[in-house]
């Protein structure tokens, strides 16, 4: 038995079938049917390991309906890594049957090439400018920028910086939320941190989540090589999903260079609080704000106190906690497109929890969550900006806040 198979078997054997995961799995709570809970996915992974399944449509449907939110992992008395089992099961399906045609085109022919992503963003921006909406799912599309962030905005050259960091912008800041990128540059410069923007590619999370290990590894190798060459103290990101993925490169590639790379990756909020101890701003931001914990930041990286410390350090800002702040918003990358109705149902609960706070704005640390919550608020006719935490800090340092709903 290979090491990988042994690791899968070990996780499967840990499951006592207690069913505690039923209390927290957002998918199960909406579907209320056993195949949609973590416990069933563990058993299905076990059957796949024993070659007792034929990777049918039903098998893939159940595995693909997992948000990888890790709520079950955090709640499981035996610490079963359901997320890892689901990823392994998806990879096995791809190994046996290959990728579906559309996924193959997106992952192999577009995601791996920056110039093709640039072109796609341009085409989508042009489509959006027409005002035509072909399907309701188009409302989930963010407002694409015609020029990518890294081509438009450049870090200032500081005289005597305390640290040098490479900013991994992620695709969402690159093509959609330029305001987050500007805030990150501004906040780091205000704290005397030199930012560099080396050549970089998608972190590979969409490929890994789709079971396409080959693309995930190819992108990881390129990022490790390019950002290592930059010779920086830290690698910073504003995206919870990118951060978790970059921190996992060491394990994904299994070499010293990748492990070293992963060791210096930090979420921007963690960096501001622990690594540099950010300068407390003096401008008031008179807002009542609630905070949504992205799954990939809280459970993926253990970062949840840091964004709150930043918000607490902003004069005039009041933080009101929403109920279930760390419950998944239902975004999970492409999940919102592939499981639109289910994703909207999960989102509804998040929107109700936000509404109940009476806050004036929502802060979060993941652009995918931001996009999803913006859509949910708009659907519910709630006029409330959703921003990245650093945008509020940047505003308290004096930069204006640019907010716009995505749909």
Query: Mapped to the 3 state alphabet, what secondary structure does 298-345 carry?
Result: HHHHCCCHHHHHHHHCCCCCEECCCCCCCCCCCCCCCHHHHCHHHHHH
Question: How far apart are CB 329 and ligand SF4 at their closest, in Å?
Answer: 12
Our measurement of the distance from residue 68's CA atom to the centroid of its chain's CA atoms, rounded to an integer in Å, reads: 11
Residue (38 or 289) nearer to ligand SF4, CB: 38
**The 234-237 sheet, strands edge to edge:** 193-196, 163-168, 234-237, 265-267
Strands (DSSP E) contained in 118-249 are: 163-168, 193-196, 234-237
Residue (21 or 377) nearer to ligand SF4, CB: 21
E strand or H helix at 182, and its extent?
Answer: helix 178-190
Residue (19 or 315) nearer to ligand SF4, CB: 19
- Across 280-291, b (16+ Cβ under 10 Å) vs e yields ebeeebebebbb
Question: How far apart are CB 310 and ligand SF4 at their closest, in Å?
Answer: 27
Residue (22 or 182) nearer to ligand SF4, CB: 22
Question: How far apart are CB 20 and ligand SF4 at their closest, in Å?
Answer: 4
Residue (81 or 247) nearer to ligand SF4, CB: 81
Residue (76 or 184) nearer to ligand SF4, CB: 76
Residue (114 or 338) nearer to ligand SF4, CB: 338
Strands 361-364 and 318-319: unpaired
Question: How far apart are CB 87 and ligand SF4 at their closest, in Å?
Answer: 10
Q: Helices 389-396 and 305-312, interaxial angle, to 10°?
A: 20
Classify 374 as helix, strand or coil. helix
Question: How far apart are CB 172 and ligand SF4 at their closest, in Å?
Answer: 21
Helix, strand, coil content of the chain in percent (nearest 5) = 55, 10, 35
Residue (112 or 296) nearer to ligand SF4, CB: 296
Q: What torsion, rounded to 10 degrees, do the Cα atoms 373, 378, 380, 382 define? A: 90
Rounded distance between C-alpha atoms, residue 33 and residue 26, angstroms = 12
Question: How far apart are CB 74 and ligand SF4 at their closest, in Å?
Answer: 9
Question: How far apart are CB 368 and ligand SF4 at their closest, in Å?
Answer: 15
Question: How far apart are CB 282 and ligand SF4 at their closest, in Å?
Answer: 41
Long-range Cβ pairs for the range 122-126 (8 Å, 24+): 122/146
Q: Which two tokens stand for residue 369?
A: 């969550």
- The residue ranges that bind ligand SF4 (CB under 6 A) are 15-21, 24-27, 38-39, 41-42, 66-72, 76, 78, 80, 82-83
DSSP codes of every residue in 206-227: HHHHTT-HHHHHHHHHHHHHHH
Question: How far apart are CB 330 and ligand SF4 at their closest, in Å?
Answer: 10
């Amino acid at each position: 038995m290979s090491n990988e198979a042994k690791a899968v078997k070990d996780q499967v054997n840990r499951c006592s079938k207690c069913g505690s995961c039923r209390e927290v799995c957002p998918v199960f709570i909406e579907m209320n049917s056993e195949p949609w809970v973590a416990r069933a996915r563990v058993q299905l992974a076990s059957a796949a390991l024993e070659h007792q399944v034929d990777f049918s449509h039903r098998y893939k449907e159940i595995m693909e309906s997992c948000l990888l939110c890790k709520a079950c992992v955090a709640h499981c008395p035996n610490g079963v890594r359901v997320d890892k089992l689901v990823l392994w099961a998806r990879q096995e399906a791809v190994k046996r049957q290959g990728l579906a045609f559309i996924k193959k085109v997106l992952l192999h022919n577009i995601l791996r090439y920056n110039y093709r992503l640039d072109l796609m963003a341009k085409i989508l921006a042009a489509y959006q400018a027409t005002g035509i909406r072909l399907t309701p799912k188009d409302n989930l599309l963010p407002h694409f920028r015609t020029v990518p962030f890294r081509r438009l905005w450049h870090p200032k050259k500081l005289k005597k910086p305390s640290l040098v960091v490479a900013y991994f912008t992620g695709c969402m800041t690159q093509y959609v939320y330029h305001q987050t990128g500007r805030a990150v540059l501004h906040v780091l410069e205000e704290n005397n941190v030199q930012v560099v923007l080396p050549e970089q590619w998608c972190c590979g999370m969409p490929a890994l989540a789709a079971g396409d290990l080959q693309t995930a590894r190819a992108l990881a190798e390129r990022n490790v090589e390019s950002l290592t060459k930059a010779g920086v103290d830290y690698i910073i990101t504003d995206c919870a999903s990118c951060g978790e993925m970059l921190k996992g490169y060491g394990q994904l590639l299994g070499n010293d260079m990748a492990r070293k790379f992963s060791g210096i990756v930090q979420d921007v909020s963690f960096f501001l609080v622990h690594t540099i101890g950010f300068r407390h701003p003096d401008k008031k931001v008179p807002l009542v704000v609630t905070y949504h914990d992205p799954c990939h930041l809280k459970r993926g990286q253990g970062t949840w106190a840091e964004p709150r410390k930043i918000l607490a350090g902003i004069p005039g800002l009041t933080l009101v906690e929403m109920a279930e702040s760390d419950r998944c918003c239902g975004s999970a990358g492409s999940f919102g497109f592939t499981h639109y109705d289910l994703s909207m149902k999960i989102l509804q609960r998040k929107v109700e929890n936000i509404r109940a706070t009476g806050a004036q704005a929502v802060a979060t640390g993941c652009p995918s969550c931001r996009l999803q919550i913006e859509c949910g608020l708009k659907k519910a006719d709630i006029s409330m900006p959703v921003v990245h935490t650093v945008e509020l800090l940047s505003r308290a340092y004096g930069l204006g806040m640019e907010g716009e709903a995505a749909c």
